[in-house]
Structure 1
Amino acid sequence: MTSCKPFIALAFSLLFTTAAAGELQSHDAIVAAVERFVLQSATGAGNTVNVSVTPLDSRLRLGKCDNLETWLPSGNKLWGRASIGVRCRAPSSWSIYVPVTVRVSGNALVAAHPIARGQAIAQDDLELQMRDLTQYPNGAFSNPDQIIGRTATLNIQAGEVLRPEQLKAALIIRQGQQVTLVAQGAGFKVSSEGTAMGNAATGQVVAVKTRSGQIIKGIAKSDGVVEVYF
């Protein structure tokens, strides 16, 4: 039986010696191109971006490139760990993927003091501090208007970054509340009174019982207003 080791060795050799002869591409230039791409693409208003590029394998030999092209491969985002594509079209033809770590620092709302589960968030509960936003995969808030009125779903410690999973939207419709039921369609708009059959936050579906006893479902739009579309 013929051993496959020579073929493995050959494949390894080809991988790391794509430029066996001629001028080689500088690894430093590739790293610089990756850093430049990330900084230009990820920088947002008020945010500071830091990128750490994983050093290329010293055995990797690539032909000299006249114009390095960089791109963000599908499935990657410039947030935390990612890979950046680098390719050359001329005079050599090659492409590689370079691992990077991207950290984005920006303003985030934190708890100014302990917030108890079930407590509605008010302006004086919040402080704006600079944090590493990539530590929060579900995102963080920077605008108080995004969360004032929401309710804490668990106890939040002072200085803790407020995150979407910690808060639930404020209710604008409550069960048993008298609401205005607005029905509108092409060329008409009518309103009537009814009783909410459940609780709802903005944009949620809620059932309303009309004065005639009919049950109609609509979208909670504002405090005490439910809209139905035809």
Structure 2
Amino acid sequence: MKQTIIASLLLLPVSGWGAVQDGRQMEQVANQFLQAQHGQDGYGYQLKLQARKPAMPACGQPLQASWPAGNARPQQSVLLTCVEQGWSLSLPVLASELQMVLVTTRLMRAGEVLEADDIKLAPVNNRSQLNQGIRDQKLLLGQMVRSTLPPGTMLTASQVRSPFVVKMNQPLKLQIRGDGFAVSSDATALGNAAAGERVNVRVTNGKVISALVEADGSVSVQMP
């Protein structure tokens, strides 16, 4: 029958178990798990120092480490399990909140638009990075990267911009508006621009004019 044993209760030698699990190996497995989890939930973790090591039956299989089920953030302990022997051991941990910013999860090429899977929170090491970085996903989702960014790049406001809704050589609908009238015409974009920006367009007679880009991808000119 599987038994869950709390580390704080296992400070006395246990007789009748034969070989005892190496305490240093248990700590190594726990520390490797904690390192892999570093920053995943916004916290860093380390094992609490114990004056005496818990004594557990030796495990003939690799130990498994995990967070205890149902724990709230931050975690208070890490769970070591020996499936072969049917025991689990809870080791207490110390949690420290980390300074986090958003970084890329994959190679982002210039012109690509950021989606939820393209970014994640990661810890930063100094105040300068924290001040430059972005923590709020809403400020990045749907934005376009200006240049190619390797995986793990910290994202800053200067690296993104509003996506283009008009692109070079794209056929457009041009609306010319004035006091009491509106005229539609075909045009061709001579550059890239986002909604609310201005772009030069060539109209059917060959003339080049500056027009305002609308959210629907059309352009407009307001006559005096």
Give the TM-score normalised by structure 2. Answer: 0.44
Ranked by relative contact order (alpha carbons within 8 Å, sequence separation 6 or more), the top structure is 2
Compare the two structures and name the one with the higher strand fraction. Answer: 1
